[in-house]
Amino acid sequence: MKRVFLIVLDSVGIGAMPDAPAFGDIGCNTLKSCSESSAFHMPNMEKLGLFHIDGIDWKETKEKPLALHARMKESSMGKDTTIGHWEIAGIVSENPLPVYPEGFPEEVLKPFREMTGRDVLCNAPYSGTEVIKEFGEEHMKTGALIVYTSADSVFQIAAHEDIVPVETLYEYCEMARKLLVGKHGVGRVIARPFIGEPGNFSRTPRRHDYSLLPPADTMLDALKDAGKTVIGVGKIKDIFAGKGLTSYVYTTGNEDGIAKTLDYLKEDFEGLCFINLVDFDMLYGHRNDIEGYAKALAQFDRALPEMMSLMREEDVLMITADHGCDPGYTVSTDHSREYTPFLMYGANIEALNLGTRETFADIGATVLKYLGVSGKIAGTPMI
């Protein structure tokens, strides 16, 4: 009974790709920036082989790697969560998802207002915490929805839970998701509920993402069609719009995601457990918080020994990322176009250095080969 545990450390990039300047990123390196904090401590990832990966030449290590390791290159035209995860699962996106640096056009907002019966505030790229600080009071007075975006392909709706019940906010997001297709097919529509009083607003953990349906089958579909278990932990269900999953569970953050991963390691199933740990990106990368990011990396590293101790003879642990979000790159709080790490550990996996791979899709192809499933996805197996 083979099980694969694929963990995505959301935004843990390891250095700028050659085309990074075209994406507005010059010299970004998420992991290196975090290493400059005194809180940076990753001895267990070091043992697996993190600092043997191509390009990580700024950290010396004497550890003999325990895991197969490689540097992953994103071949899709993007640097966001959706495109990154889709590529990991076998879809290469030749065109970037639409972004709205000037806000959404009236051809989007007019039908949205008609659908919801509410007016719209903001309509510009904004920090999620700043937007409720600036528009929260007016929203509470008028009932108008706070609609905003970011440098990513997202349509975000913020609403106070006392003004718009969370379930109603979710309905509005579903309306927006049906509206935003074709040329306006943003990667995600995101519900951003908040609470509090003017001057003291805070976002709640009841965020919900509504992803664009993947345009083709992924490794998840191939596994499900073959009768395997496919479990999504964290944002995975939202990123793939539920497609290809047999079950899923949401998480409140990294600590909860790690705890649920440990629970699944104790369960019997044959197939894939696909985990996204979002705090690196959401709480620290976008806020240029090097110290917080480094602490989160150390927290994950401390959990690794227990994960590895629960692995069975045929189990494989894969650790990777979906893009970068360099907290030390103060020019922007956007994602960064970076290579990502890949580590594959298991009793029967040889600890080779596979250099730089041409696409994240090699991960999905490797998952399918290890689990003995064929699928029409991009990528070349690494084993």
User: DSSP per residue over 145-214, as a string?
Assistant: EEEEE-SSSEEEEEEETTTS-HHHHHHHHHHHHHHS-GGG--SEEEEEEEEEETTEEEE-S--EEEEPPP
pLDDT on residue 151 = 80
| Res 332 pLDDT > 90 | no
Residue 152: band (very low, low, confident or very high) from pLDDT cuts 50, 70, 90: confident
Q: How far is the C-alpha of 225 from the C-alpha of 218, rounded, in Å?
A: 11
pLDDT on residue 292 = 98
333 with 286: CB under 8 angstroms?
yes
Give the three-state DSSP class for 276: strand
CATH of domain 106-210: 3.30.70.1250
pLDDT on residue 54 = 97
pLDDT on residue 333 = 86
Instruction: Kindly state the DSSP code that residue 324 receives in the 8-state scheme.
Output: B
Q: What percent of the chain has pLDDT over 90?
A: 94
Give the three-state DSSP class for 372: coil
Cβ neighbour number for residue 36 with a 10 Å cutoff: 12
| Res 351 pLDDT > 90 | yes
Rounded to whole angstroms, the maximal C-alpha distance in the chain is: 63
Which of 76-85, 133-142, 299-308 is predicted least confidently? 76-85
Can you tell me the mean pLDDT for 239-248?
Answer: 96
State the Cα angle at 154 between 149 and 160, rounded to 5°.
Answer: 60
Q: How far is the C-alpha of 275 from the C-alpha of 180, rounded, in Å?
A: 27
Give the three-state DSSP class for 238: helix
Tell me the pLDDT tens digit for each residue of 163-217. Answer: 999 999 999 999 999 999 999 999 999 999 999 999 999 999 899 889 899 999 9
Handedness of CA 14, 15, 18, 20 (dihedral sign): positive
Q: Where are the domains of the chain?
A: 3-93+215-370, 106-210
Can you tell me the mean pLDDT for 265-285?
Answer: 97
pLDDT on residue 209 = 87
Q: How far is the C-alpha of 95 from the C-alpha of 126, rounded, in Å?
A: 24
Residue of 252, 312, 215, 376 whose CA lies nearest to 5: 312
Can you tell me the mean pLDDT for 125-130?
Answer: 92
Q: What is the pTM of this model?
A: 0.90
pLDDT on residue 211 = 86
| Res 96 pLDDT > 90 | no
Average pLDDT across the chain, whole number: 96
The end-to-end CA distance of the chain, in Å, is: 18
Tokens (6 digits) for 115: 């659908």
CATH of domain 3-93+215-370: 3.40.720.10
CA distances from 333 to 281, 301, 329 (A): 10, 25, 7
pLDDT on residue 68 = 98
Q: How far is the C-alpha of 205 from the C-alpha of 194, rounded, in Å?
A: 9
Instruction: Kindly state the DSSP code that residue 96 receives in the 8-state scheme.
Output: P
Cβ neighbour number for residue 295 with a 10 Å cutoff: 17
Helix, strand, coil percent values for the chain (each to nearest 5): 35, 20, 45
pLDDT on residue 357 = 98
254, burial (CB in 10 Å: exposed 0-12, middle 13-18, buried 19+): buried
Q: Answer yes or no: same fold for 3-93+215-370 and 106-210.
A: no
228 with 271: CB under 8 angstroms?
yes
pLDDT on residue 115 = 97
pLDDT on residue 363 = 98
